[in-house]
Amino acid sequence: MREADPSVVVEDLVKRFGTFTAVDRISLTVQRGEVFGFLGPNGAGKSTTIRILCGLLRPTSGRALVAGHDVAREPERVREHIGYMSQRFSLYNDLRVLENLRLFAGLYRVPPRVARERMEWVLEMAGLRGREHALTATLAAGWKQRLALGCAVLHRPPILFLDEPTSGVDPAQRRQFWELIHSMAAEGVTVFVTTHYMDEAEYCNRLALIDRGQIVALGTPSELKRRALPGELLLLEAEPLGEVLAAVRGFPGVLDAAVFGNALHLVVSSAADLVPGLRAHLTAAGFAVHRIVPIRPSLEDVFVTLTGVRRQMAGS
């Protein structure tokens, strides 16, 4: 593969398990050094796709190239060029940190003359210096994930697949983990990461949103927020929230409504035209309306709107 070639190319990829279609004709391209986020709810097809791209599952149809190699015809060649970190911690808890690194250096066939240098590099890169002799079972979740990432990159792969790598990790450690991801991308490593954390999606260069096996949106975080919603967005603070939600659904000009914390986010056709009438309607119905203001959409708004629209269509 030439340096200018994409790291990952997916064309009309399909994966079926019996009568169930887990991945439904998806297409995407990921460039070298890009942090590419693959978002979606549980069961959307994220893990199935990533396992296909890692050469662990054979696609039903379509084509996928990773590092220039066809995942169906050359899975072994694909695995030579990638690092893979699964969503479940898969290292050995009864080994020490350094022993896990040494084991994975052998599994990745890192030459002995460079294995020690690579392990030293991982200890520094992952911030594990001083924990080399700690039993892996005694590490906190965030440090275990750092170790798992270090083991996945011992052979310095040009492409890294991370399947929900921060699941169960606290927010501060998640942020530190993403700093590691971006430091590797800055060195030219392509990072393909699945997550269901919408705040993490902001750290990605580009995103694909998958729902029920299909890609429903693709672009940068700012592009998705700008173009995915069919109207403007309002924040509505009113009580009681559940009854207010029922009252605003079906109100003329309200295209979608969802609970966000202690408030509602409303997708509306025109905020300026709708706010006075909506406030009057809710007040007349006896609800306590505290605030109705236009806001900028978040990726969570995009996600809720797109997946909600699809489910409404599926149920109609």
Name, of 19-23, 40-44, 147-151, the range with top average pLDDT.
19-23
Q: What is the pLDDT of residues 241-255, one digit of tens each?
A: 999 999 999 899 999
Separation of alpha carbons 30 and 28, rounded Å: 7
Residue whose structure tokens are 């970190």: 85
CB contact set of 9 (below 8 Å; sequence gap of 6+): 29, 30, 63, 64, 65
| Chain centre distance of CA 258 | 22
Chain CA centroid to CA 29, Å: 16
pLDDT for residue 250: 87
Residues 252, 256, 261: CA angle, nearest 5 degrees: 125
* Contact between 12 and 25 (Cβ < 8 Å): yes
Cα 211 to the chain's mean position, in Å?
Answer: 12
Q: Which of 58, 75, 23 has the alpha carbon at shortest distance from 214?
A: 23
Which amino acid is it at 114? V
The answer to which of 44-53, 74-83, 96-105, 164-173 has the lowest mean pLDDT is 164-173
Q: Cα separation of 250 and 301, whole Å?
A: 19
pLDDT at 311 over 50: no
Residue type, 149: L
Per-residue pLDDT of 204-260, as tens digits, reads 999 999 999 999 999 999 999 888 788 899 999 999 999 999 999 989 999 989 999
DSSP 255-313: EEEEEETTEEEEEES-HHHHHHHHHHHHHHTT-EEEEEEE-PPPHHHHHHHHHHHHHHH
pLDDT level of residue 140 (50, 70, 90 thresholds): confident
Highest mean pLDDT among 42-46, 171-175, 304-308: 42-46
Q: Is the pLDDT of residue 313 over 50?
A: no
Is the pTM of the predicted complex or chain greater than 0.85?
A: no
Residue 2 structure tokens: 């030439």
How high does pLDDT run on average in the chain? 90
Closest CA to 50 of 23, 76, 70, 69: 23
Judge contact between 229 and 301, C-beta under 8 A: yes
263-268 and 69-70 as β-strands: parallel, antiparallel, unpaired? unpaired
Cβ–Cβ under 8 Å, residues 311 and 214: no
pLDDT, position 164: 84
CATH class of 230-296: alpha beta
Domain boundaries, the chain: 8-220, 230-296
Report the Cα–Cα distance between both ends of the chain, in Å, rounded.
Answer: 46
| Contact of 209 with 215, CB cutoff 8 Å | yes
Where is 100: in which H helix or E strand? helix 97-107
pLDDT in tens, 167-190: 777 788 788 889 889 999 999 999
**CATH architecture of the domain covering 8-220:** 3-Layer(aba) Sandwich (3.40)
pLDDT higher than threshold 50 for residue 81: yes
- pLDDT value at position 2? 41
Lowest mean pLDDT among 77-86, 116-125, 257-266, 298-307: 298-307
Given this model, what pLDDT does residue 4 score? 58
> Does residue 31 sit in helix, strand or coil?
coil
